[in-house]
Chain A
């Protein structure tokens, strides 16, 4: 296996780990990996704590709220969001930074939350699909773009695509289809609805430009 790091995960927030280190830590903390690629401690029910799996109470800022959760050392952000904070909009499609379904924004930058340890985001702002619409229910312009164009099919990949698009369009508000495709290329859609997704995201970009003019 090559030692070259995946560029997407190298751009981790400071103090976080490379993908390689992360996998190593998750494995060491997780006792066994041979038959299971998903290894997470789901509850505090287990009385006897294996070494390195102890939980610690953390406060993290998710969707503008301070949320507290008991978090294991080796716990990934995706697991904390889904199983500790009830934010199941963030999906796990591969759990190894291949598919992008778990993409969330950390300080405005898209990350695969399956490959970010929760304790590394304590002082950072996490935004998930659930936090994108306004509190009055108004959809984000990119979400509205999906509604306008009937983007996506099964939509399991949709939260990840939308989060990636929101971040990309903030810095590239007026992309061509090719540029936007590059920006979304870290996300996989197995319904292969790429053409309609791209159309929906282009509409989202248009909606965003319209909204910023108001």
Chain B
């Protein structure tokens, strides 16, 4: 179907999945009918008999201690059933990971409620009542006194000599060494990190006066190659500061949850990014056994990293329900979502980059500081360095970074965590270098872009780790051709009246997959194949898509396949979290392994029943049959035989290498047909990444400062395409998520009170349908990754950085290099800076 009424980018419909029946083909996902008719039930759509509602008392101060608390008047109100305070929370539990490592609980990590709030909006207590009016009125009747404590919302403020500490004992996490191993005992767990204080000197802060990021001591540092030699040889050296915004995830469905207890088990309804992995997380937060947790999460209204497993929003209704002995629904308002709903940390970055005259990056000195919020350190700071080292392949590089605690809402991974920030700090520098060196923007990226088994990061045990594959240069070339890059660059005049056009290109990449998870399927005696899916259903459709790879291997038409998902009591296998773009890669591998296990069992059953050896048989067209013609049977018949044979054929015996949760699910499903369960043990040489080349054109009105995105194209190197429509949705959807960081999303604070001013959509507005071109374009190379049997890599994160950076590069193409040194770029940024001829926004201050 032709899309357009603009027609400015040529649409060439690509055919994906050559040689496959299901892989690479479009189809209708099994969850779509319920969604389109309003029958799909999200957490807040459930109702339990006698359900109570819950409201939270949130801290009005960014850092304080509760001095006095009196809940008697509230508790005496008719309709108020229970009040939960921090002293009633279970003590934090240690985590036993699936490979047997113990992660010690950190008493200084986030709890569900607190008497020492560390950010404005942190929950202090919760009230359960017959309705929300009563619960809210009860909150008003609670008498509470706070002792205000020093606070810091800006990471540089707390780093200054004598600056305030966000926590009473400091402003950074410090990891003590693991105690030495004792012979014969299990390896000791590392102690939980403690809090320390990091302050820089006035001398180290001197650069801040000139708008350059000060660079004091950092706890973390790595390097490879000789950067000083690189800078000496460079034809051009740039030293630039850039600041990225803090952005809330803002899923349209807030993290509401319903919880109730039956027979000692807690039932939780909520949106999550993993059905399988959220169960142990709930158990850990509640300090109960995993067998006591049932999670229902069939539909999730968006996550983007903010709904990875369990957190505050599940634990409060679960504990209140236990206390009140009634179901409790905690609906989260949009403001509450801003406070407890997670966000991406901003990164303050400074890069010194040395270029050869053909644009090759021969030396790169990278320095980043993150604004982490008050709790556990996010990985954005170290990840930003690794992604930059992979994407631009510097000959020599040093990376330094520090994760600063602040009294702002807790952060978590958001689509391409650290990747977006690293790319957005780096890309404007490359754009500027190309202009200074007289090079084409595509050409300078061509010479730096990763290829094949590209190395990244510092040496580990004497060797730098490397990617499984990269075909980004081909994506860049094909994208430039489809976008008509050269024609757009050559087009004159750039300015017509008050409108100036600019074009931008950006490279982008992120981790694209993990390994080692399990698959589980049952071929039923009626010939249908049931895939058990532990993947969260947050809209990417990987919950269903990945099983198409299994059906393809089994030669079963999709109409004969069912997928079970969204309820942890329905016997699901050990599955990755749908975060970090792992799923398509990890779970197509597991689906493939499981289908291969089913094929082997089908062949063995056929050999047992019909004679010969298993290898004499083949599986296709819903049959297992002797190669070259002759005897065979249908999958339905084989399933019946599997039940008769029992043992390994119907799930009574399963492979020892499966995860314990997969084994438990197999036990429960045993005897229903031919059961196949397998762990992904396929080798993988390298770390899996996916890549995008992003192109955009903007039109800026220099009289008003307003600008429009005229065209956008993302060309993806994400391995084999599994489901074109859902892939296209991810490539463009996540590009726009990144574009939001360029065109307007950010946090704004009142620095005097440490109070957030941007708590709603209209104050930190995600892009609307009018903010993006009506005819966006995407395409994928569809080159299989050589290190995974299905060839597919993940896609969610890689487009994000390129979406943002290509817009920034298009803006600097239109307006020059002296307009902005932070994102987002708004109309007022453009107007004031154009007039002054230099960036007029404060270069370093947080949350402006």
Given the complex of chains A and B, what is the CA–CA distance between A176 and B56 in angstroms? 46
- Quick check: which of B129-137, B441-449, B617-625, B659-667 contacts chain A, the rest being far away? B129-137
Complex: chain B residue closest to A137, CB-CB: B37
Per-residue CB contact flags for chain B residues 739-770 toward chain A (1 = under 8 Å, else 0) read 01000000000000000000011100011111
Report Cα–Cα, A208/B41, bound state, in Å: 27
Per-residue interface assignment for chain B, residues 672 to 708, with 1 indicating a CB less than 8 Å from any chain A CB and 0 otherwise: 0000000000000000000000000000000000000
The verdict on B733 contacting chain A, using a C-beta distance below 8 Å, is yes
Whether B5 contacts A89 by the Cβ 8 Å rule is no
A156 to B136, Cβ gap below 8 A?
A: no
Does A158 sit within 8 A of B, measured CB to CB? yes
| Chain A residues touching B, majority SS | loop
Interface residue B222 (Cβ < 8 Å from any Cβ of A): no
Cα(A83)–Cα(B44), bound, Å: 10
A195 close to B32 (CB less than 8 A): no
The interface bits of chain B over 17-55 (1 if a CB of A lies within 8 angstroms of the residue's CB, else 0) are 000000000101100110111111110110100010101
Q: Mark B529-558, 1 if CB is under 8 A from A, else 0.
A: 000000000111100000000000000000
Q: Are B725 and A150 in contact (CB under 8 A)?
A: yes
Q: How far is the CA of A191 from the CA of B44 in the complex (A)?
A: 19
A177 near B774: Cβ-Cβ < 8 Å: yes
**Contact status A194-B139, CB under 8 Å:** no
Q: Is the C-beta of A116 less than 8 angstroms from some C-beta in chain B? A: no
In the complex, how many angstroms separate the beta carbon of B300 from the nearest chain A beta carbon?
A: 6
A35 in the interface (beta carbon within 8 A): yes
A188 in contact with B32 given A46-B130, A157-B252, A181-B769 (CB within 8 Å) = no
B267 at the interface (CB under 8 A from A): no
Say how far B185's CB is from chain A's closest CB, in angstroms. Answer: 47
B815 at the interface (CB under 8 A from A): no
With most chain A CB atoms within 10 A of its CB, the pick from B250, B301, B740 is B301
Let me know if A65 is at the binding interface, CB within 8 A.
no
A residues less than 8 Å from B39 (CB atoms): 89, 130
Task: Let me know if A38 and B333 touch, CB within 8 A.
Answer: yes
Nearest CB in chain A to that of B37: its residue: A133
Q: How many residues of chain B get a CB closer than 8 Å to chain A's CBs?
A: 82
Measured CB to CB, the nearest residue on chain B to A139 is B36
Determine if A146 and B32 form an interchain contact, defined as CB atoms under 8 angstroms apart.
yes
Q: Are A36 and B37 in contact (CB under 8 A)?
A: no
Q: Is B188 an interface residue (CB 8 A)?
A: no
Q: Does A152 contact B (CB under 8 A)?
A: yes
**B331 CB within 8 Å of chain A:** yes
How many whole Å from A80's CB to the nearest CB in chain B? 14
Please give, as numbers and ranges, the residues of chain B lying within 8 Å of A177 by CB-CB distance.
3-6, 774-775
Within 8 A of B (CB), among A71-125: 82-83, 86-96, 98-99, 101
How far apart are the CA atoms of A190 and B811 in the complex, in Å?
24
A152 touches B539 (CB 8 A): yes
Q: Which residues of B are found within 8 Å of A162, using beta-carbon distances?
A: 36
CB atoms of B26 and A194 under 8 A apart: no
Query: Which residues of the other chain, A, contact B33 by a CB distance below 8 angstroms?
Result: 147
> CB distance B333 to A36 under 8 Å?
yes
Cα separation A50 to B134 with both chains bound (whole Å): 9
Within 8 Å by CB of B539, from A40, A42, A47, A153, lies A153
Q: Does B253 contact A (CB under 8 A)?
A: yes
* Contact yes or no, B136 A150, CB < 8 A: no
Say yes or no for A37: interface residue by CB 8 A criterion: yes
B37 touches A130 (CB 8 A): yes
- A-B pairs, 8 with minimum CB distance: A89-B38, A153-B539, A154-B539, A156-B301, A129-B38, A192-B736, A88-B45, A155-B35
Given A147-B28, A150-B729: 15 more A-B contacts, CB < 8 Å: A32-B136, A40-B131, A43-B130, A45-B130, A46-B131, A48-B78, A96-B760, A129-B37, A155-B40, A158-B35, A185-B768, A188-B761, A191-B729, A196-B733, A197-B769
